[in-house]
Chain A
Amino acid sequence: MQKKRAVQNVIYHVFVIAFGLLMIYPVLWMILSSFKMKSEILGNNAPFLPSTWVFENYPNGWKGSGSLTFATYFKNSIIVSCLGTLGTVISSAMVAYALARVKFRGRKFWFTAMIMTMLLPGQVLMIPQYIIWNRLGLVGTFVPLILPKYLGWPFFIYMMMQFIRGLPKELDEAAMIDGCNKYSIFTRIVLPLLGPSIITTIVISFYWIWDDYMGPLLYLSKPALYTVSLAIKGFADTQGTNFGPMFAMSSLSLIPVFLLFLFFNRYLMDGVTAGAVKG
């Protein structure tokens, strides 16, 4: 029995590691490319490791273009992503609670409306939305990127709804008897129990805002406000692309989102045994 478990363990780890290496190969490729010269990034028989390590790609990329460095772009990305994530979590949890647990008139209608908003491609909504923000005089600020996140993000609303629906209803009823009202049920019962899905929302929405290109492209309008995702695209052109610096900055741009994931992932694992095969 003991021996069988040990063998199983070895097989498990070997499989997970081997498969994991396959998974991160493209990521490693990108990071290694950030130390290569152009011909080794693009060549047909390019070596996996750089033949000469070109560390200059990092300072060259960091200095960006003109008077702004990536310090500005990282600062902007962090502001937009942090404020946006905060808004996403608060507003999406609220709306999810209403749609999943409060029996109000029009609930079905608003739920359908929410699903519908996700079914039209952003490409055809883009221009009218731009005109609205333009009329409000808010193009050229962070507001069009941040404010909507405080007004609920359908993806996360629906996700949290599904988690709330998984919570036993008896909890609400018991709390009612203890003198809770619909508001305190949200803050005292639902929110604490939503823990894992809130963590998930933080990790995913932070990354999606961080990685967003269309929003910053349309609404920032001033290089001093550009985010990392937008600035990285600026390395590319049909008349020549600075691949080395581009990959250097792409690699750096992974760090904040990765750290955030590492930090929050702990809360998604603690005491996780569900589904685990014991023995």
Chain B
Amino acid sequence: MRKNLLALLLAVAMLCAMAVPAMAEKAEGWNNVNAEGYEYPDYSGKTLSIMWWGSDTRAQLTEEIIHMWEEKTGATVEFENYDGGGYWTVFQSKMAANDLPDVFQMGNNWLTYYDTIEPLNAYIDDGTIDTTAISEAMIATTVNQANGDVTGMSNGTNARCFAYNPAIFDEAGVPYPTDNWTWDDFAAAGRAITEATGNPAITTLEYNSLAFSAVTQWKEGYNFYAMDGSDFAFEGDIEPLTYIIGLLSDLQSEGVIADFGVQNEIGKNIEADWIAFGDAAMVMLSSNQFQALSNVAAESGIELALATIPRVYADGQSGMVVRSSQQMSIYSGSDNKEMAANFINFFVNSIECNKVLNCERGVSINSDVLAALKADSEKTNDVTAKVYTLIDLVGSFPDAANSSPAEPAANEEISDVLLKTYFQGMADGKFADAQEAAEKFWAEAQEIWAKYENQ
């Protein structure tokens, strides 16, 4: 109800905006920060507040570009940064107190915090946020498909994928993954490697997203969640779930996939993964973690490569998606929305700014920025080049825009249950077979979904 009202108001506002002639006169791309002779707006005496999560490296880079922007506009920027876990606690406290900063970093869980987010449509339409060098597909990574609201501008994109160690593949005499390798290829490669090395071939997996990918891959038109995040979208066909639960559980019981003990030891530290020390051949990760993993591996002289997620049918759907790794959003209660939009415009589009950030958060969505970075050998090394190649490849898959950018509010709980109750329960012998686990999971997922419907 409230959202509908918001959409209506927005529509009215947009109509008004169009009716004002001064707006219409502005040329397309008038706010392109990279244009020669571009003049930054003057915000002397004004203050903008910003919040993000990430490591100290990110903090350093982000602070640098904040000072850059302060210098150009005369604004004062107050910023806060936290580690990824603490960030959401702070965010929810500030949300409860209606005291969020003007601009904040947001994840794919934006549907959960929808009321705090100002749609950017008006700023994009009037050109304040310049999108002349950003493709529709890239903007779509942060669009609410239900109503067309742009919830933020992506700071960079990534894709879930596999990193592998080609040297171990060679040693075991297994061919490298192809762009459309299948789960059968994956299982065969894993088994051969484990046989050759005596170690689990595969360590960490993101089980829930693999299960969701399998649904997408199963049949055209299938998705675990609907595009707009409003429902499930696979007609309750549990065959793909049975398939993936069965396959991964079998591989784990054979020792091809490391047991959950090892996976828990590695936990969220991708850099502690066995693949970085030559003890495993494949690991699943997000492409923006590849740099950190490669850095550790390089200390032991290991060079890693990237591969796609295996498919159910070689000629079928990829089940992969280029997604926004994180985005900058404007607080709906902000008093400085126009200034905030200008900051985001600078953050996303400025080549000068992004030469500092250098896709630390993910691959830039602005094609001019990306071209400038790729052309600069100081900014693009072998590792980042592999990430760019992978993102280009995934972007070229016909079904890459096929999956929902929105994680429904229920996703967090459904994913947690899928991993801990069902995948870990399979390993613990709590279910007779994959069929039973899949059935029970599907029943519970619907129950969880209903809880959020009523909220």
Contacts and interface: CB of A to CB of B under 8 A. Distances in A.
Interface of A: 37-40, 42-45, 64-67, 126-127, 130-131, 134-135, 139, 213-214, 217-218, 221-223, 230, 233-243, 245
B79 A218 contact: no
Contacts of A44: 274, 277, 279
Contacts of A139: 97, 99
Contacts of B412: none
Given A66-B63, A67-B63, A217-B90, A234 B80 contact: no
Nearest to A128: B96
Contacts of A237: 53-55, 58, 83-84
Nearest to A132: B97
Given A39-B277, A126-B93, 15 more contacts: A38-B271, A38-B299, A42-B271, A64-B56, A65-B57, A67-B63, A130-B93, A130-B97, A134-B97, A134-B99, A218-B93, A237-B54, A237-B58, A239-B291, A240-B57
Given A42-B271, A217-B89, A241 B300 contact: no
B367 interface: no
Contact of B296 (A39, A67, A213): A39
Interface in B243-299: 268-272, 274, 276-277, 279, 288-289, 291-292, 295-297, 299
8 nearest CB pairs, A to B: A240-B292, A66-B63, A65-B59, A237-B55, A39-B299, A134-B97, A65-B56, A42-B272
B86 interface: yes
Interface string B26-52: 000000000000000000000000000
Nearest to A40: B299
B78 interface: yes
Nearest to A37: B299
What is the interface of chain B mostly: helix, strand, loop, or mixed?
Answer: helix
Contacts of B92: 127
Contacts of A245: 56
Contact of A240 (B55, B64, B83, B274): B55
20 contacts: A38-B299, A39-B299, A42-B276, A43-B277, A43-B300, A65-B56, A127-B93, A131-B96, A217-B82, A221-B80, A223-B80, A230-B86, A233-B86, A234-B55, A234-B56, A237-B53, A239-B55, A240-B289, A240-B292, A241-B271
Contact of B289 (A45, A233, A238, A243): A238
B277 A241 contact: no
Given A66-B59, A237-B54, A223 B81 contact: yes
Nearest to B78: A222
B197 interface: no
B60 interface: yes
Contacts of A217: 82, 86, 89-90
Nearest to B158: A239
A250 to B, nearest CB: 14
A213 B86 contact: yes
A239 B80 contact: no
Contacts of A234: 55-56, 59, 81-83
What bracket does the count of chain B residues touching chain A fall in? Answer: 35 or more
A129 B62 CA distance: 31
B275 to A, nearest CB: 11
Contacts of B89: 126, 214, 217-218
Nearest to B292: A240
Interface string B72-104: 000000111111101001101100110100000
A132 to B, nearest CB: 9
Contacts of B84: 236-238
Contact of A127 (B55, B96, B360): B96
A240 B96 contact: no
A151 B93 CA distance: 23
Contacts of B361: 239
A235 B56 contact: yes
Interface string B284-325: 000011011001110110000000000000000000000000
Contacts of A135: 97
B289 A239 contact: yes
A239 B279 contact: no
Contacts of B296: 38-39, 42
Contacts of B55: 234-237, 239-242
B96 A130 contact: yes
Contacts of B86: 213, 217, 230, 233
Nearest to A237: B55
A239 B97 contact: no
A226 to B, nearest CB: 9
A44 B272 CA distance: 9
A234 B270 CA distance: 17
Nearest to A60: B56
A44 B274 CA distance: 8
Contact of A239 (B59, B93, B96, B288): B288
Nearest to A238: B268
A81 B89 CA distance: 23
Contacts of A233: 82-83, 86
A247 to B, nearest CB: 13
Interface string B383-421: 000000000000000000000000000000000000000
Contacts of A131: 96-97
Output the residue of A66, A131, A223, A243 with the most chain B CB within 10 A: A66
A38 B277 CA distance: 11
B279 A223 contact: no
Contacts of A126: 89, 93
Nearest to B266: A42
Most buried by B among A64, A131, A234: A234
B256 to A, nearest CB: 18
A243 B271 CA distance: 10
